[in-house]
Amino acid sequence: MSKASKRLSPLGAVGIALGLAGAFVGHAANAQDVAITGVTVATGDGSEPVENGAVLVRGGRVVYAGPASGMPATGGVTAVDGQGAWVTPGIVAAVTTLGLLDVGGVGESNDSSARNSPFSAALDVAPIVNPNSQHILVHRAAGITRAATTTSPSASIFGGQGAIIDLGADPDAVMRPRAFQMVTLGEQGGRIAGGSRAAAHVLFRNALREAMTLGDDARIPGRSSERPETDLGDDVPIDPRLSGEYAERAGDVLLTRFDASALVPVVRGEQMLLVAVERASDIRSVLALKQEFPRLDLVLVGASEGWLVAQDIAAAGVPVIADGLDDLPQNFEELAATQSNIGRLAAAGVTVAINASAMENPRNLNQYAGNLVALGRVPGASGLTWGQALASITSVPARILGLEGRAGTLSRGAAGDLVMWDGDPLELGSTPTRVFIDGVEQPLDNHQSKLKERYLDIERGDLPKGYVW
Amino acid sequence: MKRFALLACAAAMAVSGCSTAGGGSGTASASDARGAALGADGRVPYASTYQRYPGRPTALVGATVFDGRGGRIENGTVLFRDGEVVAVGDASLSTDGYDRIDGAGKFVTPGVIDIHSHLGDYPTPSVEAHSDGNEATSPMTPEVWAEHSVWPQDPGFTRALANGGVTALQILPGSANLTGGRSVTLKNVSARTVQGMKFPGAPYGMKMACGENPKRVYGSKGRMPSTRMGNFAVNRQMWLDAQAYDGEKRDLGKETLKGVLDGEILIHNHCYRADEMALVIDMAKEMGYKVTAFHHAVEAYKIGDLLRENDICSAIWADWYGFKMESYDGILENAALLQKAGACVVIHSDDANGIQRLNQEAAKAQAAGRRLGMDIPDAEVVGWFTYNAAKAMGIGEMTGSLEAGKMADVVLWNGDPLSVYSRPEKVWIDGALMYDAMDRTRRPVSDFELGQPGEGDVK
């Protein structure tokens, strides 16, 4: 009777995810062809919504989204009249722990960090994502179709290798395993590394150096810590033995071989490095890492004081997954936090998405985006246009995660991730009525919807509530 | 990125416990704070020294007015002077003698009230040195008073004012303890001392907590309680001991408990699960006190009838769930189903960020009801974060609604407060303009933020 009870047990799901890890994308086999007319369409690319729009998905991919007047022939697909509903691409949530835990406070169910593990950078969530997690079901029903999910730094400054997942009701959640590495370098990084940011920076450099020297083929070009040619007076240059090819590995290895191996693609720039950092000066130090390790593919996460160094971030071309509405000096690295952070970063030309990990639960990404629109009407504040705001939770995070044109957008050829909403998707309480992932319509029921149905009527019946299901 | 453990954060923070006793009239006088024994000087200890700031006689005209008690007036007029609401009506009200503010296209509500906050006792920056919300050294600490922990320079007060339109709030001890201590109700007006913020005439509350937190905190220390049955045993014995208190030798904790038994101090009880709330209701009957409100009552929807019959409010989030075992059954429809059952709904924050968006949380909860086919009028929903909160804090006869003679705690919103696109434009507390989005000199900056990056920013 209950769909949920028929789904795979969590144990079974893990095995299957393991088997398919790496396979990825669009099992278009079950994909429906979908044609919808009579809707307001927002494509997620930053443009404003289009009324009287239409969408066509075939073979699991978007063929068209835009004004109804431009709708191509549907080739026999019966168009559904959306009756004024809204259609957007699925929301892309970065960064999350979706699929890694059932109940945050229940340690036995929570795989989102591994405080007592000897490993850190080598941690890999691909085999452990549970597509049956209620959080995945609940967030799917909230219109989130793809997410970056990862273990968090705890035993080490490195959090491990995160994956990009889809939230579809099928066993293969992992769309791209080992998509990124996570490191924390601010206040938290300093505490983990031994009590000081200085320790975090040394640990970080040592780790990358060990990765570089792990094997000849792991060496990266562009080492830059040679003795500077210009004498800067009293400045003492970094000893070349602390960096680059002069560094010696013997005798001081701090990383396990697995962890060092996991960082090889990071130093090579083949795997994104998400750097959790908040303070303006910490952000500058992270940007400077590019001089020392030029191939690093950096993404800033958090960046509450990013607006103070917006020009530097823009010049470095480093994208930001920024806290959306944080405006409190939560700690000393966020003294300048303001809700205008994202608006100011965007105005400076920074590619900026809203950080899902800075909210109580990521299903409120659309609410946060709506708030950034609201700021446009507050004197002195900086927000986003409606189109930019939707993009900051769809196409922009997709682009940052390397999915440009493939997710978070309704451009031709993108995955058929559609959400139909019962109203303006950024407005409070607007809710998906239908969700498609890769063109496959998704079930929207879950533990919460079942509870709601059971307790709609609390009158005593002929049988106890336990029989209502 | 403070909250990296996304879905887990609330568990760590969620400490609360409140009571609501419905009643509460109370005249606004600094000298009659109930439930406190007089000091050696014959005065109420730690009495409020709050005094309203000067304000202009003001007429808000042309806006949509929600009065907080279910009333809605299009093109309404709100008049206030000398700290009090003078009249609320339609466009026919005379505004002679008042400064007119054109509210066309805008909305007016009573000041937003948060029944569950830890501003001041868990202030930002949230460093260990500021962790003053849980006296987690004994499961029963009725003798502690939250006001003795409140840091009036918490920058969070200013955010709650500017972004949330919050004019009054109850600061509670945390929920590590079964009995956490007295709460304090504040005016959200910047002051050098906590006494300067204390809401004159507000009754005290006492925080209690069910469930996981107390048994985890004390069980892990190898002492009672370590189970839910232990929670109840400790509580019941505490009440029995309090009943026997004769007052001959002063006992701080028992003075507070006696105040509860006498109906002067309101019980605010952190309790998530429906079955546990039902047990607490029976414990209150057994021991002779009343629960005013269950806080974090994520399962209240399962027992809306019981809560209605016992006149207990549910102070809830719109959508927090799943961060701890006892929050596993949280659903978006909680508020709507309570409303359907005729029970009292209060939207609360328990969070320095959430307090800035109580209106938005209420709107999400309203929309969940709409999807059930329930049309809960906007004017009722505004009451969830204004009058209902005031009533459950015992200050409902002084504030929480726009009625002649009540405190002129008023928010002018730049749009519909139940829309994500709206923000407070002006906030008055006792008729004094304490925040104005159009005038950066009407924006409080805490001592802590002076000379810091972002000082005086829009935030």
B370 falls in which pLDDT band (50, 70, 90)?
very high
Choose the closest CB to B458 out of A323, A340, A361: A340
Per-residue pLDDT, averaged over B48-67, amounts to: 98
* Interface touch B8/A330, C-beta < 8 Å: no
Choose the closest CB to B437 out of A362, A378, A429: A378
Q: How far is A41 from chain B (nearest CA, A)?
A: 20
- Contacts with B, A 287-306, CB within 8 Å: 301-302, 304-305
In terms of C-beta density within 10 A (0-12 exposed, 13-18 middle, 19 or more buried), how is residue A347 classed?
A: middle
Choose the closest CB to A379 out of B6, B437, B459: B437
A169-183: pLDDT as tens digits: 999 999 999 999 999
Question: Would you call A282 an interface residue with chain B, using a CB distance cutoff of 8 Å?
Answer: no
Q: How far is B447 from chain A (nearest CA, A)?
A: 13
- Say which residue, A19 or B276, is predicted with more confidence: B276
- Which residue from A445, A342, A402, A387 is spatially nearest to A89, judged by alpha carbons? A387
* Interface touch A105/B420, C-beta < 8 Å: no
Q: How far is B348 from chain A (nearest CA, A)?
A: 14
pLDDT above 60 (res B152): yes
At residue A22, the pLDDT reads: 34
- Quote the CA–CA distance of A395 and B364 in Å, as a whole number: 25
At residue B34, the pLDDT reads: 65
* Interface touch B421/A374, C-beta < 8 Å: yes
- The strand pair at A79-81 and A86-89 is best described as unpaired
> Can you give the residue ranges of every domain in chain A?
158-405
* Interface touch A104/B2, C-beta < 8 Å: no
A264-289: pLDDT as tens digits: 999 999 999 999 999 999 999 999 99
At residue B374, the pLDDT reads: 97
Question: Would you call A103 an interface residue with chain B, using a CB distance cutoff of 8 Å?
Answer: yes
Choose the closest CB to A357 out of B3, B304, B368: B3
Tokens standing for residue B255? 């003075």
Least confident of A355-369, A381-395, B161-175: A355-369
* Interface touch A360/B9, C-beta < 8 Å: yes
pLDDT above 60 (res B346): yes
- Quote the CA–CA distance of B302 and B283 in Å, as a whole number: 19
At residue A215, the pLDDT reads: 55
Nearest residue of B to residue A304, measured between CA atoms: B1
Please give the CATH architecture assigned to the domain spanning A158-405: Alpha-Beta Barrel (3.20)
Cβ distance B172 to B117 under 8 Å?
Answer: yes
Least confident of A134-143, A440-449, B37-46: B37-46
- Quote the CA–CA distance of B47 and B28 in Å, as a whole number: 12
* Interface touch A431/B367, C-beta < 8 Å: yes
Cβ distance B190 to B53 under 8 Å?
Answer: no
Per-residue pLDDT, averaged over A27-50, amounts to: 89
* Interface touch B459/A301, C-beta < 8 Å: no
Nearest residue of A to residue B128, measured between CA atoms: A331
Partners of residue B438 in chain A, C-beta under 8 Å: 379
- Which residue from A339, A154, A447, A366 is spatially nearest to B5, judged by alpha carbons? A154
Q: Kindly provide the ipTM of the predicted complex, given to two decimals.
A: 0.93
At residue B166, the pLDDT reads: 99
In B72-211, the DSSP E strands lie at 72-81, 84-89, 99-102, 107-110, 112-117, 166-171, 179-182, 184-187, 205-209
> What does pLDDT average to over chain B?
93
Cβ distance A305 to A279 under 8 Å?
Answer: yes
Strand partners, A180: A162, A272
What value, to the nearest 5°, has the Cα angle with vertex A10 and ends A7 and A15? 105
Q: How far is B90 from chain A (nearest CA, A)?
A: 27
Per-residue pLDDT, averaged over A320-328, amounts to: 96
A212 falls in which pLDDT band (50, 70, 90)?
confident
pTM tops 0.95, yes or no:
no
pLDDT above 50 (res A12): no
Instruction: Say whether the peptide bond before residue A301 is cis (omega within 30 degrees of 0).
Output: no
Partners of residue A422 in chain B, C-beta under 8 Å: 371
Local structure of residue B6 (DSSP, 8 states): G
- Which residue from B430, B412, B431, B432 is spatially nearest to B422, judged by alpha carbons? B412
Q: How far is A426 from chain B (nearest CA, A)?
A: 8
- Contacts with A, B 286-325, CB within 8 Å: 301-305, 319-325
B301-325: pLDDT as tens digits: 999 999 999 999 999 999 999 999 9
Q: How far is A184 from chain B (nearest CA, A)?
A: 10
* Interface touch A448/B341, C-beta < 8 Å: no
- Quote the CA–CA distance of B84 and B65 in Å, as a whole number: 17
Per-residue pLDDT, averaged over B111-120, amounts to: 98
At residue A31, the pLDDT reads: 80
* Interface touch A327/B159, C-beta < 8 Å: yes
At residue B37, the pLDDT reads: 86
Please enumerate, as own/partner, the contacts of A451-454 that have beta carbons within 8 Å and a separation of 24 or more. A451/B329, A451/B331, A452/B331, A452/B332, A452/B333, A452/B337, A452/B372
Question: Would you call B6 an interface residue with chain A, using a CB distance cutoff of 8 Å?
Answer: yes
pLDDT above 90 (res A223): no
Local structure of residue A169 (DSSP, 8 states): S
Tokens standing for residue A82? 């959306």
* Interface touch B453/A332, C-beta < 8 Å: no
* Interface touch B156/A328, C-beta < 8 Å: yes
Nearest residue of A to residue B459, measured between CA atoms: A338
Residues present in chain B in total: 459
Question: Would you call A214 an interface residue with chain B, using a CB distance cutoff of 8 Å?
Answer: no
How many A/B residue pairs have CB atoms within 8 Å?
216
- Say which residue, B14 or B416, is predicted with more confidence: B416
Instruction: Say whether the peptide bond before residue A432 is cis (omega within 30 degrees of 0).
Output: no
- Residue position matching structure tokens 């106890």: A464
- Quote the CA–CA distance of A144 and A347 in Å, as a whole number: 26
Question: Would you call B360 an interface residue with chain A, using a CB distance cutoff of 8 Å?
Answer: yes
Question: Would you call B445 an interface residue with chain A, using a CB distance cutoff of 8 Å?
Answer: no
B420-446: pLDDT as tens digits: 999 999 999 999 999 999 999 999 999
Question: Would you call A469 an interface residue with chain B, using a CB distance cutoff of 8 Å?
Answer: no
Question: Would you call B354 an interface residue with chain A, using a CB distance cutoff of 8 Å?
Answer: yes
- What's at B346, amino acid-wise? V
- SS3 label, residue A162: strand
At residue B20, the pLDDT reads: 32
Nearest residue of B to residue A326, measured between CA atoms: B353
Partners of residue A327 in chain B, C-beta under 8 Å: 159, 163, 353, 356, 459
* Interface touch A97/B7, C-beta < 8 Å: yes
> Can you give the residue ranges of every domain in chain B?
6-52+112-402
- Residue position matching structure tokens 């190898």: B222
Question: Would you call A41 an interface residue with chain B, using a CB distance cutoff of 8 Å?
Answer: no
At residue A29, the pLDDT reads: 60
- Contacts with B, A 318-347, CB within 8 Å: 323, 325-332, 334-340
Choose the closest CB to B454 out of A113, A323, A338: A338
Tokens standing for residue B434? 């304490």
- Which residue from B145, B141, B148, B150 is spatially nearest to B122, judged by alpha carbons? B150
At residue A132, the pLDDT reads: 97
Spell A109-122 as b/e; 16+ CB within 10 A means b: bbbbbbeeeebbbb
Strand partners, A80: A36
> What does pLDDT average to over chain A?
89
Furthest-apart CA pair in chain B: how many Å? 69
Per-residue pLDDT, averaged over A397-426, amounts to: 98
Per-residue pLDDT, averaged over B367-375, amounts to: 97
Choose the closest CB to A329 out of B124, B357, B364: B124
CATH class as words, domain B6-52+112-402: alpha beta
A14-38: pLDDT as tens digits: 333 333 333 334 445 678 899 999 9
Tokens standing for residue A203? 């640990």
Local structure of residue A439 (DSSP, 8 states): T
Per-residue pLDDT, averaged over B261-267, amounts to: 98
Local structure of residue B443 (DSSP, 8 states): S
* Interface touch A360/B448, C-beta < 8 Å: no
* Interface touch B320/A360, C-beta < 8 Å: yes
At residue A254, the pLDDT reads: 82
Nearest residue of B to residue A354, measured between CA atoms: B1
Nearest residue of B to residue A323, measured between CA atoms: B1
Cβ distance B212 to B227 under 8 Å?
Answer: no
A360 falls in which pLDDT band (50, 70, 90)?
confident
Partners of residue A322 in chain B, C-beta under 8 Å: none
Choose the closest CB to A428 out of B302, B303, B360: B360
pLDDT above 70 (res A327): yes
Spell B336-358 as b/e; 16+ CB within 10 A means b: bbbbbbebbbbbbbbbbbbbbbb
Q: Which residues are within 8 A (CB) of A208 and not within 5 positions of it... i.e. 6 or more apart?
A: A263, A266, A267, A293
